[in-house]
Structure 1
Amino acid sequence: MNNDNLNPFKIVQNQLKDVCETLGVEQEVYDILCEPQKTLEFSIPIKMDDGTTKVFKGYRCQHSNITGPFKGGIRYHQNVCLDEVKALATWMTFKVNVVGIPYGGGKGGICVNPKELSKHELERLTRGYIHAVYHFIGPDIDIPAPDVNTNGEIMAWMMDEYSKIAGYDVPAIVTGKPVEIGGSLGRTPSTGYGVALMAKMAAEKLNLQLQDLRVSVQGFGNVGSFAALTLQNLGAKVIAVTGTKGGIYCHNEKGLDIKSLMAYYKEKGTVKGFEKYTEDCDSIQSTDILGLDVDVLLPCALENVITSENASDIRAKIIVEGANGPTTIEANKILNEKGILIVPDILANAGGVTVSYFEWVQNKMGYYWTEEEVYSKLQLIMSKAFKEVCEIEKIHNVDMRTAAYMLSVRRIRESLKIRGRI
């Protein structure tokens, strides 16, 4: 039986409590950060294509703006709930402070399976969401972005709807937009690129050669696919990939052709069947992918996939968390005891919010950077954060997750003190 606490908000609260105790910070720091500043829960009635009206549940959570405007994605998923959104907003506060960008944490979502909606229904739902949160967000207040099952097109609808209500164009209201309407070059691959960069630095930390790395990827959405592609381009061998829904995974000991798999996945929405189009590739039940004998495991799907029930099966030397909260507290203890190096989510997948920050800055300036400039700035910020986390890890003899939280909480605490909040 699984004894893990799988409530993501309870998990992040426990993580925060442990770190505050380790740092010895004032009780007020924990009290301020353990609950969001504001949470909005609302209904969105939408006229469906058949003429009926269906009501969807929506959320927007604003955890903390101590270090800057609220920032965080909006996910469309049938399992979205209040505690999940609160947890993701809280993680975002720690994430932006690990990499040192001037934002606070926010998150939003709609409880819906977007694949069950037509494109017109999805657009009406998206515009309805903006109507519901219009007075709650703003380019200097709270800036949404893409997340699970949302993309540049949905961000474009959000920007357009907000601009229509405001009466003028407001490109800085969301990030992750298409380049044609103010999006940043490099934004779409940025989270996966950052995950790959963290995997590269983690391998160097363990004196592993990149060209010798064998990698498996759990979840082949935007993050997992670009992380896999980037690592392959750097010389690593990606031998196994599962789709976001699981079921089966593609496996090839010689290394998968990630570019071809991405094209297949975009067309089919699954990795199932890809083995028919390539040599030396087979399909295996996806529950086995976590236990493959690889150097690097990238969990890039949803939270709570690595638990106390399967953590002991993991044989990877390095785990780089592309998803938010993929590892439970109990599983984290087991993995640490096994000596597995974990690059935690609040550092590993911070590439997306970092380039979202770049996009926001470019919108504010009305001046746009080249893709080379974007990646150069992203690499500089994330490499610096990785080194700072490793330094704290060494000084305090803690794991990387604890060190990352210590770095983040220390920065937040300093902001609270300077502003007279504590």
Structure 2
Amino acid sequence: MTTMENPAGNTPQITAQAVPTLPATPTVVPAALRPQPYMRLQWNDSVTGAVGYLVVHTLRAGLATGGTRMRAGCTIGEVEDLARGMANKTATFDLPVGGAKGGIDFDPKDSRAAEVLERFCEAMRPWIDSHWVTAEDLGVPQHLIDEVFEKLGLGQSYHAAISRAADPAATLERVRNGLNAAVDGGFLLGDVIGGYGVAHACLAAAVSWGQSPAETTVAIQGVGTMGGAAAYYLHEAGMRVTTVADAAGTLHCADGLDIPALLDLRDGFGEIDRARLPDGVEQLPRTAILGAEVDILVPAAISYAITPDNSYDVRARVVVEAANAATTPEAEAMLAGRGIPVVPDFVANAGAVAWAWWLLLGWVDDTPENSFDRLRTIMHTKVAQLLAAWTERGVTPRDTGHRWADEPAPALAPVHIP
């Protein structure tokens, strides 16, 4: 059953970090006063009892973009928050598309998960066919959602945009070539581009302190697609990743973890095999990750990981959100009060969606260096601006980002996809 609602270069290290003496707390807007989504859909699976949601926060030129997640306990409120975040991402990165999100309340480890995803996509087909461009998210890898789209005769999960192209076959080929382009480490470009952007958000933060990567430490909660790629590229850049966490617990080495070795030990759900850990790795409780003594904390696992109850555990100088909605508004206000800024998800992890649209629009191709260069330049510029506003005027990064996102959008002609 489906129901619908339509409401209204290295720099010498400095010895002290410039922080605002009276940091501004983020603006916490009551839910009743937030802009309402353009549309909400709910789907109920008669086979398993799973419940799925599609929330379209904004439409631009008839299109909205946002991944589909699957996790036990997913709620409509969560999907609304994520759709709002997607709208912020597309606006902040000047993409000609609105924001949306799909979510399914079901365990992705259940043997029936792929069938549930297929039935959800079939139910959402009117939107998938013409308006909603989706992709991977928590619990739904890109290869799985693409397999579902193939079964439905839709080719690939960017179908709603590809079908508008002047040459859909050529655009589909460009997208597939880009997603499957090989990069160093044995990875695919489409799997790592988002984490690459997060890594450079972290590197930009270090640059803002005048600190080299080798002098900077980082902890990463979650080593799946996003967190794992961020860890890999930070390690490659020379930053010391001392602490990582997955669902089984926290791993720590003060001298820096061998990230490539740990990533090779992951299973399909982003969990590291403890039986084959390298020597010198300390095993800690899962919650220890938030209190790691590091410069940068990267929550890259679940939404709402940092809450008022655990925000005082955070010891990092800055939080860089790789997971969507990783910090609750109340927790972010508490962190700001302690002088700890949060680089918001709709900037830090927006590299994946920005790159997908650059690829669709033909602004990048399947040459990884072109994509990396473009994303690195833009991410460093944006994060530098966010942290400058924080250190110089006490304006939180989220408030600065919201001002970018809230700027009136230009009148858009129909999206031209070559």
Alignment of 1:71-86 (within 5 A): 71-86=65-80
Equivalent residue runs for 1:33-44 within 5 Å:
34-44=35-45
Distance 1:62 1:35 in 2: 10
Worse-superposed segment, 340-349 or 225-234: 340-349
The one of 91, 101, 109 equivalent to 1:97 is 91
**1:16/1:381 CA distance change after superposition, 3 Å:** farther
Per-residue Cα deviation, 1:136-180 (whole angstroms, up to 9, x for no partner): 2236x210110001112212223313436xxxx5673179x9989
How far did 1:287 drift? 1.2
Moved more, 332-341 or 229-238: 332-341
Q: Say which is worse superposed, 151-160 or 82-91, in terms of deviation.
A: 151-160
Contact 2:50 2:104 in 1 (8 A): yes
Shift in alpha-carbon separation, 1:325–1:113, aligned structure 2, 3 A: same
- CA-CA distance at 1:373 after TM superposition: 1.3
Post-superposition offset of 1:414: 4.1
The aligned counterpart of 1:148 is 138
Shift of 1:394: 6.8
User: In 2, are the aligned partners of 1:74 and 1:146 still within 8 Å (CA)?
Assistant: yes
How far 1:295 sits from its partner (Å)? Answer: 1.0
Whether the 8 Å CA contact 1:68–1:102 is kept in 2: the answer is no
Q: Which residue of 2 aligns with 1:338?
A: 338
Q: 1:65 to 1:390 in 2, by over 3 A?
A: farther
Bigger Cα displacement from structure 2, 321-330 vs 190-199: 321-330
**Equivalent position of 1:6 in the other structure:** none
Kept after mapping to 2: 8 A contact 1:232/1:238: yes
Matched ranges for 1:15-414 at <5 A: 17=29, 34-45=35-46, 53-66=47-60, 69-117=63-111, 121-138=112-129, 141-163=131-153, 169=155, 172-173=158-159, 181=176, 183-184=178-179, 185=181, 186-243=189-246, 245=247, 247-266=248-267, 270-271=271-272, 273=274, 277-362=277-362, 368-390=365-387, 393=390, 397-410=394-407, 413-414=408-409
> Displacement of 1:259 after TM fit?
1.0
Call closer, same or farther: CA 1:158–1:137 in 2, change over 3 Å: same
SS in structure 2 opposite 1:271?
A: coil
The structure with more helix, counted as a fraction of residues? 1
In structure 2, distance between residues paired with 1:252 and 1:330: 31
Tell me, in whole angstroms, the C-alpha distance in 2 between the residues paired with 1:350 and 1:92: 8
CA–CA separation in structure 1 for the residues paired with 2:209 and 2:117: 45
Tell me: CA distance 1:67–1:392, structure 2 relative to 1, closer, same or farther (3 Å): farther
CA offset at residue 252 of structure 1? 0.9
> What SS class does the counterpart of residue 267 from structure 2 fall into?
helix
Q: 1:268 to 1:384 in 2, by over 3 A?
A: closer
Provide the residue aligned with 1:22 in structure 2.
none
> In angstroms, what is the RMSD of aligned CA positions?
3.0
- Which blocks of at least 5 consecutive residues in structure 2 are unaligned? 1-25, 162-171, 182-188, 414-418
When normalised by structure 1's length, the TM-score is 0.79
Q: Tell me: CA distance 1:374–1:180, structure 2 relative to 1, closer, same or farther (3 Å).
A: closer
CA spacing shift, 1:358–1:221, aligned 2, 3 Å: same
Higher relative CO (Cα under 8 Å, sequence separation at least 6) belongs to: 2
Label 1:337 to 1:278 Cα distance change in 2 as closer, same or farther (>3 A): same
The 1-side partners of 2:128 and 2:158 are apart by 11
Q: CA deviation at 1:102?
A: 1.8
Distance (whole Å) between structure 1 residues aligned to residue 229 and residue 336 of structure 2 = 27
SS in 1 for 2:135: strand
Q: How far does residue 348 in structure 1 lie from its aligned partner after superposition? A: 0.8
Query: Residues 76 and 110 of structure 1 are in contact (CA less than 8 Å); yes or no, is this contact kept in structure 2?
Result: yes
Distance 1:321 1:223 in 2: 11
Give the conservation status (yes or no) of the 8 Å contact 2:71–2:105. yes
